[in-house]
Each structure stands twice: as C-alpha cells, then as structure tokens.
Structure 1
Amino acid sequence: MAQYDYDLFVIGAGSGGVRAARLAAMSGARVAVAEEDRVGGTCVIRGCIPKKFMVYASEFSHHLKTAKSYGWTVERATFDWPAFLAEKDKEIARLSGVYVRNLHNAGAELVHGKGRVVDAHTVEVAGHGTSTTGKILIATGGRPWRPSDIPGCELAITSNEAFQLPELPKRIVIAGGGYIAVEFAGIFNGLGVDTTLVYRGPNLLRGFDDDVRSHVAEELEKRGVKVILATQHTAIEKTASGLVSRFANGHDVESDAVMWALGREPYVEGLGLEAAGVKLTEKGSVAVDEYSRTNVENIWAVGDVTDRINLTPVAIREGQAFAETEFYDRPTKFDHEMVASAVFSQPPIGAVGLAEADARHRYGKVDIYFARLRPMKYAFAGADERALIKLVVDSATERVVGCHVVGPDAPEMIQMAAIAMKMGVTKTQWDATCAVHPTLAEELVTLREKYVPMGLGQVA
C-alpha cells in the first residue's frame, strides 16, 4: 500500500508548475495539481500572451502612419476594443484548454481550488479536503503589487484589470518604470489613449543598460507618451470629470484611469508555508537552493514565487530541472546566467548578459561597441525614429558579455545572440559571422570601432 496519496502535489498550474507536473506524471508518478484560477498562470491568462496580443493591436496605428509613405492610401481607421477583447479571450481560453489537456494526457490530476500546505506531507485544497503527498512543489507565481498608504489608491487598476477593461479610457496615467509600465504605456498610446507615464526614479527600466534606458524614454516621447520622472503619487482623487493624480512635485494630472505598474510580489499569501516551516526571503519570496529545494527536505518551489529571474521560460526550465532531478534520477540545475529577455515596448528591447555598468564592476576593463541609427523602414518614411545596438566585451578575454538592442524585431534578434553568448563567443568570432543584408540585425556583426559612450553616442 502506498505511503501517500500522491508522489507529487503541485500548487499552481502556471508554466513552471505544469511543466514539472507533466514530466513527473510521465515518469509514472502519481501527480496532482491544484489551481484556484484558470490553468495557464500569469503568462497565459493575464500576462505575456494577452499582453503580446495587445501590443500587436496597438502597433497598427504606427504601421498605418508609415504605410502612407509607401504609397498606400489609408482611409480613416477605427479600433473596436470590445471586438478585440472577445477575440483575445477566445484565444486565451483555447490556450488554457491546451494546458489542461496536456496535464490530463500526461496522467496528472487537476484539482480546481486554492491549495494550502498543512504540513510537510499534506496539502489541503479548498472544497476538496486534504491529501498526503511525498513531495510538494510550490509554483504559485506572483501578482501585481499595489500601494495601500496613498489616499485614493483603491481607485487605480493593475495590469490584471487592464486586460478586461469594459471600455478604453480616453486618458490614462501609468505609475511605474519597469517593463510592465513601459509596455502598457506603448499599448495604450498606440490604441489612441492620451498616456502619461510617471516614475519616481531618474530614468525608466532600472536594471537595464543606461543607454537603453535613456533611448527608450526618448523614443516613447517621440511616439506621444508623456514621461514624467523623479516624482510619484501622493493621492488620487475622484472628480466629476475623472481621476486627479496628485504628485510629489506639486503637479496634477487628470485622467479617466490610473494604473499601478509598480512591480510584482511573490504569491505566498494563504499557502500555509509557515506551518510547514518553509523559509522565506526578506522580500517575501520562497528561499530555494540551486535545485529549487526549500529548507524543508520534501518541498520545492519554482518560478516567480522564488523571485530569481521572473520570466516564463525560466519557470519552465526550473520546473523541468526539478522533475529531471526528482523523478528521472538525473540531477539537473538550471543555469540562471546569460538568460535573454525582451521588453515589448514600442520600440521593443532585446537584452542578454550584462549592462555596461555591471560589466565594469565585474571585469574592470571592458570594450564598448555602440551605434544609434535609423531603421531602414522608418528612414524611408521620413520618421524620426532610432534603433540602438550595443555590445559589451570583456577586454581581457574578448568574450561578449552583453548585447543590447532597441528597435524593430529586437526580441527576435536577441534569441539568436543568446545562443552564441551562452557558448562563450568572443568578439573575433562574432565579427567572423557574415552579415545578412539589408537587415537591422547585420549591425550586430559589423560594429568594429570601440566606443566610450558619452550620453547616447553618435547618430548614423
């Protein structure tokens, strides 16, 4: 007779939890997955996927402007927000269904309800009672953080609600300077909403290369986003004509909606981790080792709830590494170095490796290769738009340790750059690659002169 009801109980059916559950079940293990919302997690339901659809929708306004320069006669275009939402929701439902089928096909059991750890070998699911299990995996992800000490803060939405607004606002204020704030600023602006982006720091996108940060702020403003830096909300007040955002710098902005995009926090509330003795970090994430194991021997955690690198592909790889280690007897650690990322801002960003400042701190002397140029598509249209390409090279080894691209198709380019950089490519090897012409990507392999950035550098 089995000692436990299950070999593995996963709490959270997002990308990381589903990957771990599927692989574990395919090994013959008895696996259950508890999910309190729709299957698919943040990425599928209220994150990457619906956001990318919104980015696509919002980019058409820019494409239509450009089309005139290419000889197209464009009649007055209109955007149907309810129609878009209906199509978006249909696709999200389909993708969520795919996740459910994949779990079932692998032999895992899906339990709808919020899971809670009772003790080191017991999980309770709301409405379904308790089950015993040999191993527990926490994969509950994160959720938007919202302030509670600002008068009127409850009047603002978060990214969760932004995906289901009954109608588009005419004016919106977005508070935040991270990738979610920047992406939604581009989305709403592209959909014709009067958009103001407010951030308390000196520049947007903290953690990215400084040249990238300045460049993106400049390009956002060119497209019509009003960027206000070095201030933050002190209050939000509802009036007869909308919402008034009051800022620490003494200025007020009236809008129809205010959106908090001030970061995300690990979703650990109500999981009962304290009862099981699971240690959390100072920031409230689940503390894990390189194998995603917590301080409790039979409890693991993967994905955003661990606050390592909060990206969907990372959660998937962490979940896979957990299953390989625990159910296939193949000890596997996911290497968190040299992970590429994309920001679907407008223009978009692709980055892998170190920012210049971080590289100088780590290696001492680095060589910089840098260019700002007009993308061919927009140069022809006479648009005042610039792309940015920057390589950071360790002087001692010639290894390329940072690659940063802002411009059309940057996220697509960075995936390929990441392969080479993960393999330890040197600048000499990089330069030996023949260019693909005419493309923006060719600029990556034609940068030859070392450059010490002063501000934003030269314009080609």
Structure 2
Amino acid sequence: MPPLTVNGDMKSTLQDYISKNKVMIFSKTTCPFCQKVKDLFKTLNVEYTALEIDKLDNMSAIQAGLFELTGQKTVPNVFINGNHIGGCDSVLKLHSDNRLMVTVSTPSTAYEYDLVVIGGGSGGLAAAKEAAQLGKKVALLDFVKPSPQGTAWGLGGTCVNVGCIPKKLMHRASVLGEEHEDSKKFGWDYGETKPNHKWDVMRDGIQDYIGSLNWGYRVQLREKDVTYINGYGEILTPHKIKSTNKRGKVQEITTETIVIATGERPRYPDIPGVKEYSITSDDLFSLPYCPGKTLCVGASYVSLECAGFLHGLGLDTTVMVRSILLRGFDQQMAEKIGIFMEKGGMKFVWNAVPQKIERLEEGTPGRYRVTALGREGQEIVEEYNTILYAIGRDPCTSGIGLENVGVKVNPKNGRVICDDREQTSVPNIYAIGDIVDGKLQLTPVAIQAGKLLARRLYAGSKLLCDYVNVATTVLYISFQCDYVNVATTVLCISFQCDYVNVATTVLYISFQCDYVNVATTVVYISFQCDYVNVATTVLYISFQCDYVNVATTVLYISFQCDYVNVATTVLCISFQCDYVNVATTVLYISFQCDYVNVATTVFYISFQCDYVNVATTVLYISFQCDYVNVATTVLYISFQCDYVNVATTVLYISFQCDYVNVATTVLCISFQCDYVNVATTVLYISFQCDYVNVATTVFYISFQCDCERSYNSVLYIVSV
C-alpha cells in the first residue's frame, strides 16, 4: 500500500490521528495480540480506529515515530482519549481492574461536561440523572417556547405538564360529577340544588400539583449534581452548545456527548384565525377561564379524551372529524367508542374540516364562528366559545442546530434518524424520545431509552432499548348496552404499571349486552405490575351476553405480578352465555407465579353445561410446583355425567411436584355434564409456581353454558 501521508513530520501526523480518534490502535494484521485487543473493544461495543501499519510502505518510519512518542517498540500501541495506554497487557489489565470503560468514557479536559442533554422531559431527565449517578458531569438544558396563546410550563416535559397527568386529573373531576348523579340511586339526597362545577378551583388544584412535580424534578437534579440550565439549546459544533435564556442572555458550553430529547408540540393547520383564536392541549389544562361551548377538532385520542372530560364536566362539546376516529387503532372498536360517546350526549360533526375561524366577541371565553367544509362540498357554520385543535404533533427538531453539525433527519416528518443505539449520523450526538424516527412515542419508552443509553455510554452495558413490541400500553374499552330498568351499570378500570423493556401490554375489553331488569352489572379490572424484560403480556376479555332477570353479573380481574425475563404471558377469556334465572355459576382462578427457565406452561379449561336445579358440583384443582427445565407433564381430566337429584359431586385434584428437565407442562380439563336438581356449580382453580425465564405462559378459558333458574353469574379471576 502507499505510505502514510505525512503532514509535516511523522510525529505531528501520528499526533493528529491520536487526537481525532477516541480509541486509536496502531496495529499489524498478523499480530495475535493486536487482534485480541480489537476483539475486546468489539465485545464492549467501543468504537476504535485501527491503523494496520504492516500494510503501509513507510511502516519503519511510523514505528520510529511511535517509539519517539511513547518509548514503545511493539504493537499494539493503544491510545485512549489522547492518552497512551500501552500494549495488549496494559489494556487487559485496565479491563480486569474495571477501569477500561472509565478510561474510555472520560472526556478530554477541553470539555466542561461529559454529557449535555437538550430537553427536560421524561427521556431527557432519565438520561441526565442516570449519567450523573454513574459519576459523570452532566448539564440539562430545558426551555419551553410559549404557545401562540402564551402558555408555558416548568420542568418535566409534555406528560407531566400538558399531557397524561393533568388529563387524568380532569378526567377524574368529570367522573366525580357522574358519580354524584349515580349516588342518588343509593340514597344520597342533595336536595333540589343542582351541583355546580368550578373550573378555576379544579384548574388551580391541578396546576398546584403539577408545580410540585416541577419542583421535585429540580430537587432531583440538584441532589444528583446535574447542572440545570433554563435556556434554549442550539448545537453550534459537535461539542459546543449555545444556551439562550428568556432574557436573551447567551451562554456557550462544551461537552463530550450530546443527547437530544426535545419532544413534540401540537400541530396547527394553515387556515385563517387558527393561531389567533384556537387553543391546543398546551393551553387547556391551565386555561384561566371555563371554556364553555367547545369544538374539539380532530379524531385522535387526545381530542376524544379532552372532549370526554369536558362533556363530563357539563360543557356543550362537539367533535369535528375529518374521516375516521382513532386512525391506526382497531376500527371496529373505534366505531363502538364513537357510538358510545354519541349515546352519552357527545355531538359529532362527521367528514368536515374547518376552513376559517372568526372572532365575533371578545371575552373569557369569547365567541367565535367556525366555517367548515363537508365532504360533499357543503358549508358548515357554527359558533363556539372555545376551539381546541388536536390533529397531531410535530417533533421539535428545527431551530436547534442539527443542520450545523450534519445530524440527519427524515425530510418527510422532521424526526431524527438514529441506529439501534440511538446514535445519530454524528458519532457523539444521540437522540431519544418522540423525536426519533420510526420509534414508539411513549413516555415509558423514552425513560427506558434514556437510562439504557447512559448505561451503555458510562457503565459498559450492552443492553439496547427494545423498540419492537415494546412498552405499548393500550386501554381499549367498548361498552354498549340497551338497559331497561337497570339500577346501576359500572365499567371501572384501574391500570397502574412500571414497565422496563416490556414488549407489549394490552388490556382489551369488548362488552356488548342487552339487559332487561338487571340489578347490577359491574366490570372491574385492577392491573398492577412491575415487569423487567417481559416480551408480551396480554389481558383480553370478550364478554357478550343477553341476560333476562339476572340479579348480579360481575366480571372481576386482579392481575399483579413481578416477572423477570418472561417471553410471553397471555390471559385470555371468552365468556358467552344466555342465562335465565341462574342460581350461581362461579369460575374462580388464582394464578401466582415466578418462573425460572420454563419452556412452555399451558393451562386450558373448557366448561360447557346445561344445569337445572343442580345441588352442588365442584371441580377443584390446586397445582403448585417449582419447575426447572421441565420436559413434559400433563394433567388431563374428562368428566361427563348425567346426575339426577345429586346432593354433592366433587372432583378434587392436588398436584404438587418439583420437576427437573421437563419441557412442557400442560393442565387440560374438559368438563361437560347435564345436572338436574343441583344447587351450585363451582369451577375453582389455584395455580402457584416459581418460574424464571419462561418462554411462553398461556392461560385460556372458554366458558359457555345455558343455565336456568339461577340468580348469580360470576366470572372471577385473580392473577398474581
């Protein structure tokens, strides 16, 4: 090969290589020690530059120059961050002493910070705190540009200030109003005075709570020695950032590494009056006045959620939809949600898009005329006090200096293009959160990505954030019914979780029924878990029935677990029946487990029967085991009979074992019977085990029956 190009003398050329590369290895292709060092850096995911000097014509001159610089004649000759480390033995010694990654991650003394994070949302805060906890000098820049209506907020990002947190609190306020009306049916007497909701009291309470969260984040940064800069960050060079505060004061700081976590803001269309006279979710939660008659433009979950709680607060609310509800979601369920909202009194304007907004009256709220265009070309004109836009969000990637350093973005959407390590086209600049192209836009994902990035940068971790089937949490409810003389109908869901590398968590409920003279129908779900590296967790319920004169129907699920490295956990229930005067039918399941290295565990129950005056039929199973590499264990029961005037029939199974090297464990029960004069039918299952690293765990129940002369139908599941 041609000789190494020398700019000036050889020593200066070598120093140029050393200064421009974080890890510089002078190597020979035939040297096994050189290969050993390169393999070590590869396993640690450390980028390095290797100059194979035996392929260059001036190898002798290079060796002489290296000897002059270091006093070392052999290869490999390794430099990290401009400092001479030595040969293979020196590198291996650093690694065995757990000091190699510290040496690699230690920045040059020319930089003020090891890491600067631009953006103080969930992802940015997570990355900054994790890096500081690992001993790095960190600064975090956060600045909120006011909305067109002048709204700004504190540290914490969208979710805390203008997203999930205030939305849930306003939703709770709405539910309390509905519960006030329901309480009258349970004996509460409020007289003739109609309750009055005070917007300002609710808003102030919510904003006080959010303010406490903002302060809490600042305290956390201070406790971890993270420098908080309330300034707008712009990247000038790969290692220099300009910060401008609200007074216009400019400050420049230098850093080894940059993480961009600037998030998104609501999108506005290009029509007259939209920025002057409309608001977005950026403004709603701190709005200084009650919005009054409101138009929510858009069919996203943000639009529907806001419309839902505004309607629940007693406001005249309309949703304007361009085409379909909840694009990207299951459309059958989206249509059911629309039908449910319309039945509840929500107004919809379908297949229409606003063309202009005009102010008719100033005030708090004011009065505005919205002119929209329908699909057939017809003009739709209506007046509102408030117009809320929720038609999508755009990444905050313009104006932060990405073009100054060559960070590549997707020209179609403005999102930053990153590899699997969240690294951009500039090696020392990373991006996390909603601004990353092609990744899930969820708060838990951003938090996890920030933590894992910091650990890879400063703790030698290799763990990547899993963006495939990861941490999608969906709470999806369709509730449709035609009730006659129904006392109370309640659909209640409590869903709380802390996910780490969770593939998919889905809570799906389809509830359709036609009830006549039903006293109480309750669907209640409590789902709490802390998952670590769980591939898929699915809770699926399909509940369809036509009940006549049924006293109580209850579907209750409590699912609490702490899974470690579980591949798939599925709880699937299909419950279809036509009950007439049913006495008692109970399906009870208790499922508790901690899995270790179990390949497949399947629990399957098919229960079909036609009961008439049955005294007592009990199927009871207790299954407890500790499985390690279990091959195959099968418990199968087939129970068919025709009982007449039977007082008690009991099938009881207790199965306890400790299996080694068993691949599959299957518990399968098929129970079919025709009972006469039996009072109670009970299916009871208790399944407890200690599993770790389980490939697949499936829990499936199909319950179909036609029962006569019974009063209670209960499906009860507890999974811990």
Q: CA RMSD in A?
A: 3.7
Post-superposition offset of 1:371: 4.4
Per the TM alignment, residue 35 of structure 1 is displaced from its structure 2 partner at its CA by: 0.8
Q: CA deviation at 1:235?
A: 1.8
CA contact (8 A) 1:401 1:421 kept: no
Counterpart secondary structure, 2:461: coil
Letter in 1 for 2:428: N
In structure 1, what is the Cα distance between the partners aligned to 2:558 and 2:387? 33
Does residue 189 (structure 1) correspond to residue 307 (structure 2)? The answer is no
Residue 86 in structure 1 maps to residue 230 in structure 2: no
**Superposition deviation, residue 270 in structure 1:** 1.4
**Is 1:42 aligned to 2:158, yes or no?**
yes
Q: CA deviation at 1:237?
A: 2.2
Q: Which residue of 1 aligns with 2:442?
A: 311
Asked whether the equivalents of residues 10 and 32 of structure 1 are also in contact (C-alpha less than 8 Å), the reply is yes
Specify the alignment match of 1:243 in structure 2: 368
Paired position in structure 2 for 1:115: 233
Does the CA-based 8 Å contact 1:373-1:387 persist in structure 2? no
Aligned counterparts of 2:492 and 2:565: Cα–Cα separation in 1: 20
Distance change in 2, residues 1:153/1:317 (3 Å): same
**Structure whose residues are more often helix by fraction:** 1
Residue 62 of structure 1 deviates from its aligned partner by 1.6
Residues 414, 6 of structure 1: alpha-carbon distance in 2 compared, 3 angstrom cutoff: farther
Deviation at 1:238, TM superposition (A): 2.1
> Counterpart of 2:391?
262
Query: How big is the shift at 1:375?
Result: 12
The equivalent residue for 1:396 is none
* Cα distance, 1:213–1:325 mapped onto 2, change above 3 Å: same
Counterpart mapping for 1:285-296 below 5 A: 285-296=415-426
* Match of residue 455, structure 2, among 318, 324, 328: 324
Contact (CA 8 Å) 2:238, 2:428: kept in 1 or not? yes
Q: Which amino acid counterpart does residue 293 of structure 1 have in structure 2?
A: Q
Q: Which moved more, 1:1-10 or 1:175-184?
A: 1-10
- CA shift at 1:167, angstroms? 1.4
For 1:370 and 1:45, how far apart are their aligned partners in 2?
A: 29
**2:372 partner letter:** F
- 1:394 aligns with none
- Cα offset for 1:419? 6.9
| Preserved contact between residue 444 and residue 471 of structure 2 (Cα < 8 Å) | no
Q: 2:185 matched to which residue of 1?
A: 69
**In the TM superposition, what is the alpha-carbon distance from 1:63 to its structure 2 partner?**
1.3
C-alpha distance 379-303 of structure 1, shift in aligned 2 (>3 A):
farther
1:344-363 matches, cutoff 5 A:
none
Q: Matched residues in 1 for 2:393 and 2:317: separation?
A: 22
Specify the SS of the correspondent of 1:24.
Answer: helix
Task: Please give the alpha-carbon distance, in whole angstroms, between the structure 1 residues aligned to 2:504 and 2:436.
Answer: 21
Give, in whole Å, the separation in 2 of the partners of 1:435 and 1:244: 61
1:5–1:370 distance in 2 versus 1, CA, 3 Å: closer
* 2:335 aligned partner: 214
Q: Does 1:5 align with 2:149?
A: no
Q: How far apart, in 1, do the equivalents of 2:224 and 2:310 lie? A: 40
Gaps of 5+ in 2: 1-107, 145-153, 479-490, 496-502, 526-534, 544-555, 573-600, 606-622, 624-683, 687-698, 705-720
Could you report, residue by residue, the CA deviation over 1:421-460 in whole angstroms, capped at 9, with x for unpaired residues?
9732356847579799xxxxxxx964568xxxxxxxxxxx
CA distance in 1, matches of 2:459, 2:604: 41
> Cα offset for 1:74?
3.7
- Does residue 125 of structure 1 match 2:243? yes
Query: Which one-letter code corresponds to 1:72 in the other structure?
Result: W
> Match of 2:471?
339
How many aligned residue pairs are there? 411
1: CA distance, partners of 2:446 / 2:137: 22
Change (3 A) 1:17 1:71: same
Alpha-carbon deviation of 1:387?
A: 10
- 1:66 is paired with a residue whose SS is helix
1:106 is the counterpart of 2:231: no
Match of 1:205 in 2: 326
For the pair 1:57 / 2:57, whether they are aligned, the reply is no
Q: Which of structures 1 and 2 has the larger relative contact order (alpha carbons within 8 angstroms, sep 6+)?
A: 1
Q: Aligned partners of 2:372, 2:450: CA distance in 1, in Å? A: 42
Q: Does 1:147 align with 2:279?
A: no
Q: Select which of 424, 436, 453 maps to 2:568.
A: 424
Does residue 372 of structure 1 match 2:493?
A: no
The change in CA–CA distance for 1:353 and 1:33 in structure 2 (over 3 A counts) is closer
Tell me if the contact between 1:6 and 1:132 (Cα under 8 Å) persists in the aligned partners: yes
- Report the counterpart of residue 137 of structure 1 in structure 2: 259
| 1:23, distance to aligned residue in structure 2 (A) | 0.7
Unpaired runs of at least 5, structure 1: 356-368, 389-398, 437-443, 450-460
Alignment TM-score, normalising by the size of structure 2: 0.52
* Cα distance, 1:400 vs structure 2: 8.1
Equivalent residue, structure 2, for 1:165 = 287
1:79, distance to aligned residue in structure 2 (A): 1.1
> Which deviations, in whole Å up to 9, do the C-alpha atoms of 1:78-113 show, x marking residues without a partner?
111111111111111111111111111112111111
1:115 partner SS? strand
Higher strand share goes to which structure?
2
Larger radius of gyration, structure 1 or 2? 2
Q: Which AA in structure 2 matches 1:302?
A: I
What CA deviation, in whole Å up to 9, does each residue of 1:22-45 have, x standing for no partner?
A: 010111111000111421111111
Q: Which amino acid aligns with 1:319?
A: G
Asked if the contact 1:236–1:244 (Cα under 8 Å) also holds between the matched residues in 2, the reply is: yes
Contact 2:236/2:404 (CA < 8 Å) preserved in 1? yes
Amino acid of the structure 2 residue aligned with 1:45 = N
Work out the CA distance in 1 between the residues paired with 2:125 and 2:536.
Answer: 35
**1:280 maps to which of 386, 394, 409:** 409
Give the conservation status (yes or no) of the 8 Å contact 2:442–2:472: no
Answer whether contact 1:16 1:319 (CA < 8 A) is retained.
yes
TM-score normalized by the length of structure 1: 0.79
Which position in structure 1 is the counterpart of 2:125? 18
Instruction: Deviation per CA, 1:57-81: give whole Å up to 9, x if none.
Output: 1111221222222332245211111
User: 2: distance between equivalents of 1:253 and 1:58?
Assistant: 26
Q: Is the 8 A contact 2:200 2:290 kept in 1?
A: no
Structure 1: which amino acid aligns with 2:278?
Answer: A
SS of structure 2 residue aligned to 1:182: helix
Moved more, 71-80 or 279-288: 71-80
Structure 2 Cα separation of the partners of residues 80 and 345 of structure 1? 29
Separation (CA, whole Å) in 2 of partners of 1:214 and 1:279: 39
Q: Secondary structure of the equivalent of 2:327?
A: coil
Bigger mean CA deviation after superposition, 157-166 or 423-432? 423-432
Q: Distance in 2 between matches of 1:101 and 1:344?
A: 36
Partner Cα separation in structure 1 for residue 460 and residue 334 of structure 2: 44
Contact 2:318 2:346 in 1 (8 A): yes
